[in-house]
Structure 1
Amino acid sequence: MNKLESMSVFVRVVERGSFSAVADEMRLSGTMVGLHIKALEKHLGVRLLNRTTRRQSLTDFGSAYYQSCRRILADIEDTESVALALHQNPRGRLKVACPVSFGVHALSPVTARFLTAWPEMTLDLVLSDKTMDMAEEGIDVMIKVGELEHVNSLVARRLAAYRSVICASPAYLERAGTPVHPEELTDHRCLGFAHPLAGSEWSLQQGGKLIKVPVNIVMAVNNGEALRSAALNGLGILMQPEVLLAEDLRQGRLIPLLPEYQPLAKPVHILTFADRQQLPKIRLYVDFLLQHFKETLVLHKG
């Protein structure tokens, strides 16, 4: 068997966690997937995977071998991508990571447009609000919301600011009244993001002046979609990213409040490795994002 093909099958088995899923993806039989793994184990003289009827796991050697295979295959793909770019459309697989709300409501639809325009490209999109190490996770492109720290060998390209909106449902406002000044928020039921840096006050600005407003948080959740759902059901006043709430605001399901007092906007950057940023597949995707998110992160329909 072709060793590189077997390595590719092994990497996808590790990442997908299922022989059958890889068989469907790579258009192989389940038996052939197993034969590729067995061929590698026979060649290496060591087991790579522990398999039971319910689950599979990497052996210690298998874990190290997976990292090596991933690097080797990525280097080969990158080299071929540079050559192919000289005479045809870029192709290859990208691994992209970003925060959950931004990924669902902004990056995912734009990425769908990108893949439609460049059908020979494929992409793995990882949505997580946790801090990730790009090198360790094998990430090609990362969207970072917030201030940058220790970029080291990374290149940062700035996108439009990540803006938030204070709002509530019509039902809540009819029941509890509409606040006209930030100080009134202490008398209202508010919904907050559960995070070590998020407390019982909201930071707003008016005419360039920073104002910290105490709020009455009746429900804290570490997921923006859950907070949005609570607000739509009339539980209280919400301050969350505009990308998450844009359609609800357009449809009148949520009503913006305190227009003279704006939540602090956060910077947004695209991060890539300095030594890989000119690879055609990465450069093409980054340029596509810069084009779509230069002025705003909110996608307008129509």
Structure 2
Amino acid sequence: MAPGNINDIVAFVAAAEAGSFVGAARARAMTRSGIAKSVARLEDRLGVRLFHRTTRSLGLTDDGRVFLDRYTQILADLEEAELSMSDGGGEPQGLFRMTAPMTFGRLLILPLLNDFLASWPRLKADVSFTDRVSDIIEDGLDLAIRIGETRENSSLITRTLTHQHDLVVASPAYLSVAPAPQHPDDLLGHTCLNYVSAGQTRGWRFAVEGKTVVVKPRARLSLDSGEALRDAVVSGAGLAFLPSYVVDQDLSEGRLVAVLTTYAAPPVPISMIYPSRRHLAPKVRRFIDLLAGNI
């Protein structure tokens, strides 16, 4: 990126944050005309209008809002890269953007993220816990967590974090009136609860005679939240297929019982995916290390 381009981006971000060219000029120790010319050059290069201008106000256009998000991240990355090369560098700072599956993120990522932010006061985080698969490059993400086999762009790094072990579980109250299934085929005679993500029902995976078999039981209740599904099973509503990290405590304290354990399918990988960079920014490198050491 040419120096002139960087200066124009700095001027644009300053104007957006100040809400005026005058305020931006004051913040950057520049002239008002210098800020205006930088913004005009940037608009000419991009071929879009970034601001709605009136004699009294300066407002971002829709394109301006999109580019502000991107340019703010670019400037934060440049500042962080410069810091990492200086004495005492390597402190995570700027904006850290990541995504993770909803239940996994809420239960396992969020506690670590809270500690991470508490340790590094110059860092901010923009995190999405969703089962929707994001485009890491297009969405400007630093890190994504994926469950299952991945088919990512070759420019991305994929590193296995851990594995997900799935279990069929039920409450003792439910099993007292409906004998535990002995084979996956027995699920037809049971009340089953399904997890639905992005309109798709999650299959129940079993190992039967050396092969992985995926079953999608007909369910009386389908939910798009793993934690809500766990609550329903604990209440005695039926059988559900849930990750061990959702139900481990319930199993150890007797609120749930695992069934069909002899047919457990091989665990699926949970991976960390991030842009392939020769030198990872400190905020990304340190958070990856934190996840690897605690999950």
SS at match of 1:70: helix
- For 1:130 and 1:58, locate their aligned partners in 2 and report how far apart those are by CA, in whole Å: 29
Q: Is the 8 A contact 2:98 2:141 kept in 1?
A: yes
Alignment partner, residue 166 of structure 2: 164
1:7 maps onto 2:7 in alignment: no
Q: Cα distance 1:63–1:107, how it changes in 2: closer, same or farther (>3 A)?
A: same
Uncovered stretches (5+) of structure 2, i.e. residues with no partner: 1-8, 25-31, 41-48, 54-58
Q: Is the 8 A contact 1:182 1:258 kept in 2?
A: yes
Alpha-carbon displacement from aligned partner over 1:225-260 (angstroms, at most 9, x marks no partner): 222222122111000122222232233222211221
Q: Is the 8 A contact 2:84 2:90 kept in 1?
A: no
Alignment partner, residue 91 of structure 1: 92
Q: Cα distance 1:58–1:192, how it changes in 2: closer, same or farther (>3 A)?
A: farther
Q: Cα distance 1:109–1:207, how it changes in 2: closer, same or farther (>3 A)?
A: farther
* Aligned amino acid, residue 198 of structure 1: T
- For 1:216 and 1:114, locate their aligned partners in 2 and report how far apart those are by CA, in whole Å: 42
Deviation larger for 264-273 or 87-96: 87-96
Q: Is the 8 A contact 2:167 2:264 kept in 1?
A: yes
SS at match of 1:240: strand
Alignment partner, residue 73 of structure 1: 75
- For 1:190 and 1:146, locate their aligned partners in 2 and report how far apart those are by CA, in whole Å: 23
Q: Cα distance 1:202–1:47, how it changes in 2: closer, same or farther (>3 A)?
A: closer
- For 2:10 and 2:188, locate their aligned partners in 1 and report how far apart those are by CA, in whole Å: 62
Alpha-carbon displacement from aligned partner over 1:189-232 (angstroms, at most 9, x marks no partner): 00112246537x63201574434446342222222222222212
- For 1:183 and 1:275, locate their aligned partners in 2 and report how far apart those are by CA, in whole Å: 48
Structure 1 residue 184, shift from structure 2 partner: 1.7
Structure 1 residue 116, shift from structure 2 partner: 4.0
Structure 1 residue 5, shift from structure 2 partner: 9.1
Q: Cα distance 1:91–1:5, how it changes in 2: closer, same or farther (>3 A)?
A: farther
Q: Tell me the TM-score normalised to structure 1 length.
A: 0.73
Q: Cα distance 1:250–1:67, how it changes in 2: closer, same or farther (>3 A)?
A: same
- For 1:9 and 1:192, locate their aligned partners in 2 and report how far apart those are by CA, in whole Å: 50
Q: Is the 8 A contact 1:81 1:280 kept in 2?
A: no
- For 1:49 and 1:121, locate their aligned partners in 2 and report how far apart those are by CA, in whole Å: 31
Larger CA Rg, structure 1 vs 2: 2
Q: Cα distance 1:265–1:277, how it changes in 2: closer, same or farther (>3 A)?
A: farther
Uncovered stretches (5+) of structure 1, i.e. residues with no partner: 11-32, 51-56, 294-302
Match of 2:193 among 191, 194, 198: 191
- For 2:115 and 2:185, locate their aligned partners in 1 and report how far apart those are by CA, in whole Å: 43
Count residues with an aligned counterpart.
259
Tell me the percent identity.
28
Alignment partner, residue 146 of structure 1: 148
